[in-house]
Amino acid sequence: MHILITGITGFIGSELCRKLIEEKEHSITALIRENTDTERYKFFQKNKVLCVLGDITDKDFIQSVFKKHKIDLVYHIAAIRGGRDFPRADYYETNVNATLNIAHECIRHKCKMIFCSSVGIFGAIPKELPPNECTERQNDNYYHYTKIEAEKKLQELVPEGLNLTIIRPSITYGIGDYGFPYTLIKLVDKGIMMLPTKDIMINMVDISTLIQAFVQAGKTDIKSGGAYNIADKTPISIKELVNFIQNELHGSRYPKWKKLPTFLSNFALFIFSKILKNELWTARVELISKNWYYDVTPAVKDLNILPHNTVPVFEYVINWYKQTKSKDGN
């Protein structure tokens, strides 16, 4: 099978490409943004991945790639993630228009497309828990808006012959990801994590589970247009996770008195969202002050994946944090 993959210089894309290499069943072509540091994709070149430099927002470039290579399956992972300092026009070009460029070529060349979306289409905090396909979409930041738009436009192409599967990761954790989970560990380590007054349930996803979902989606014959929320098996309370991190780092429980009263978290949300209009910090405050979790039953049933519980699996990320901290001398 000849696989085309975008986004291999990012966390999810790189892990997926490594897994596909391990399987030794495919020829792989990867699209890399021009002017990307060669160190970021040297490993893949050494492992016989054909790395093609170009702009995925350039329709002519995408057409030339499909004409030159007989593609059977496309993993479209590349995107501008939320919180990045890019103009909105760049977000839309990359996250929506480039996605459509690839989708049209998939129709033309009769190949399957697996699109990496986000549970963020339901908003940072879904309006119902767990959300389902009928749950209202929330464009509470521009990144989420572009993913909503991309999904909508892709679904409109299904009747035109697009063979589509949508994978929606929750917040991902794993070695090499310096996002929310790593920041949470760091806050606990420094003793500055403020626990919510009420217990909050959250639902991240281990990178290995997410990669399993992508690989299975590529191998499984499912109805076109299927969309799957991918998360760990069950939600975990922030209090439980923080105590687990504290125990792994310091052999103790996290101090109970370090709590953030609800009125202060609400005030912080008001400042970041209404006054400063800072989407990144608004989301960060929401993620530790409100519930967010997802139903993975459809993915387990249709994709035959085996998600696990966050604890104790999260231990390997804590160990990685210890190693990076030791190397940095902090």
| Nearest in space to 286 (alpha carbons), one of 262, 267, 269, 263 | 269
Give the whole-number percent of the chain exceeding pLDDT 90: 82
Cα separation, 85 vs 95, whole angstroms: 15
| pLDDT mean across residues, the chain | 92
Question: pLDDT tens digits, residue range 165-200?
Answer: 999 999 999 999 999 999 999 999 999 998 888 889
**What CA–CA distance (Å, rounded) separates 185 from 182?**
5
Residue showing tokens 């966050």: 310
Asked if residues 173 and 11 have their Cβ atoms less than 8 Å apart, the reply is no
**What percent of the chain lies above the pLDDT cut of 70?**
93
* More confidently predicted of 267 and 11: 11
Report how far apart, in Å, the C-alpha atoms of 270 and of each of 83, 85, 186, 226, 278 are.
Answer: 18, 21, 25, 36, 10
**97-147 residue pLDDT tens:** 999 999 999 999 999 999 999 999 999 999 999 999 999 999 989 999 999
CA-based Rg of the chain, rounded to a whole angstrom?
Answer: 20
Structural domains in the chain plus CATH codes: 2-177+203-234+293-308 (3.40.50.720)
Closest among 117, 51, 36 to 81, alpha carbons compared: 117
Residue with tokens 């006054």: 275
- Rounded CA-CA distance 60/297 in Å is 40
Distance from C-alpha of 255 to C-alpha of 98, rounded to nearest angstrom:
48
**What's the predicted TM-score (pTM) here?**
0.94
DSSP 126-188: -SSSS--TTSPP--SSHHHHHHHHHHHHHHHHGGGT--EEEEEE-SEE-TT--SHHHHHHHHH
Closest to 249 (Cα-Cα) out of 171, 174, 175, 324: 324
User: Would the pLDDT of 285 be above 80?
Assistant: no
Report CA-CA distances (Å) from 284 to 112, 171, 269: 35, 12, 9
- The confidence score (pLDDT) of residue 274 equals 62
What band does 269 get if pLDDT is binned at 50, 70 and 90? low
Q: Nearest to residue 118, comparing CAs of 73, 162, 82?
A: 82
Over the stretch 213-252, which tens digit does the pLDDT of each residue have? 999 999 999 999 999 999 999 999 999 999 999 999 999 9
Q: Under 8 Å CB-to-CB from 122, ≥6 apart: which residues? A: 131, 135, 136, 137, 138
